[in-house]
Amino acid sequence: MKTGYFKYCVVMWVIWVCCQPALAVVIVGLNGAANTNAPADDPGFNRIGVSQDDLSSVYLGNSWFLTANHNGAPSTVNLDGTNYTHISGTWVQLTNNVGGGIDLAMFKVAGDMPTNILPIRSSSPASGNNVIMIGNGRERTSGLKGWDEYWEDAIFFGFYNGYTYDSTSPYDTSLRWGSNQIESTGLSSNGVTCFSTDFDDNPNEGQATPADSGGGVFIKSGDTWELAGTILYIGEYSGQPSNQIAAFGNLTYMADLSVYRDQIINQRSVTDMDADGISDVEEYIADTDPTDSNSFWQVESQLTLADQTFTFYGSTIRQYQLLYTTNDLADPGLEWITNGTPIWGAGTNTQIIVTNTENTVFYRMQVTLP
Ligand SMILES: [Ca+2]
Ligand SMILES: [Ca+2]
Ligand SMILES: [Ca+2]
């Protein structure tokens, strides 16, 4: 068996076993299209993010996502029906115990995110543990098929059996869950500590397919579902047509997140990556660099008898609104009033000039996403 390495990775294959009628309760049809809604005992179906390129990730909390490093940084992520923008510069590759980069990465998005924090498993799972894997992988298109030992279509009984992926371009993908049991633990794949599952002909059994990389693997501990793994690679048979078939006996490799748990939790707690006092989300709104402590938004003002001139670096993709008040700043009824309409930033020396007719007036500048 060889270990395939795919720059995209998982659809969950749903297996129908016709001699077990009880399975009809959980499997909707023969075409593999089921399991696109959360299972009754939901480990976190709505925590799986889908990038603009249909790649998978998991929302950890505090605006941070975890994914496969080989997915690359997304521009947007859809989570539970809402699109969020990746905050440029927040992509962080995780490392092994000697500081080398591994195939896991975290990134942050802007927007009003769910506040609950996803529990991460603290110990390596054991062989036989039940898992639920969820990813936005490629659809399967065939019913159960058989191939001979040369991977030609079998006439009667297959030497290999399984399903073919959707081969249209662009590929169809779906967010889907599948179940499985852990086969092996303590594996090292591309320098990542992994565990694996084996694709068997069982109801709801899942196997990763392209675009599932970065998807989540959950294990229930007591009453709590914990994130235990990140889907990374597929193991195919030697000679198997690469990246086209999910055959029984194929493997899915998942990063064992208990090994990287401290690193993930530390990164998830970061709100101001460059420690310049301006949070990453505020820097995104101001279009400044969240990884450069010398980059943050500030306004200079110049007062003359007639005019006030406010000068600042204004991003050309952000708008700026001056507000003022004649209240005392300690006034509980303090009210900020807009001065004119928002202007677009114009780079260095963006200016707003006002002619003041008040005895006492306070100003405030606001930067907004257009
Ligand atoms: Ca299995
Ligand atoms: Ca900052
Ligand atoms: Ca900064």
Neighbours of ion ligand 3 (CB under 5 A): 274, 276, 295-296
Could you tell me which residues come within 8 angstroms of residue 251 by beta carbon, excluding any fewer than 6 positions away? 1, 3, 183, 196, 197, 198, 199, 234, 235
- What separation in angstroms does the CA of 334 have from each of 308, 324, 326, 340? 21, 10, 9, 19
| Exposed / middle / buried, residue 72 (Cβ in 10 Å: 0-12, 13-18, 19+) | middle
pLDDT for residue 255: 97
| Exposed / middle / buried, residue 23 (Cβ in 10 Å: 0-12, 13-18, 19+) | middle
- pLDDT higher than threshold 60 for residue 3: no
How far is ligand 2, taken at its centre, from the CA of residue 365, in Å?
19
Can you tell me the mean pLDDT for 234-262? 93
Can you tell me the mean pLDDT for 85-105? 95
Given the DSSP bridges, would you call strands 319-325 and 362-368 parallel, antiparallel or unpaired?
Answer: antiparallel
How far is ligand 2, taken at its centre, from the CA of residue 295, in Å?
8
pLDDT tens digits, residue range 130-156? 999 999 988 887 688 899 999 999 988
Can you tell me the mean pLDDT for 91-103? 95
- pLDDT higher than threshold 70 for residue 306: yes
How far is ligand 1, taken at its centre, from the CA of residue 249, in Å?
8
How far is ligand 3, taken at its centre, from the CA of residue 320, in Å?
19
- pLDDT higher than threshold 50 for residue 20: no
How far is ligand 2, taken at its centre, from the CA of residue 47, in Å?
26
pTM exceeds 0.75: yes
- pLDDT higher than threshold 70 for residue 23: no
Domains (ranges, CATH) in the chain? 2-267 (2.40.10.120), 297-368 (2.60.40)
Can you tell me the mean pLDDT for 212-229? 96
pLDDT tens digits, residue range 330-346? 889 889 999 999 999 99
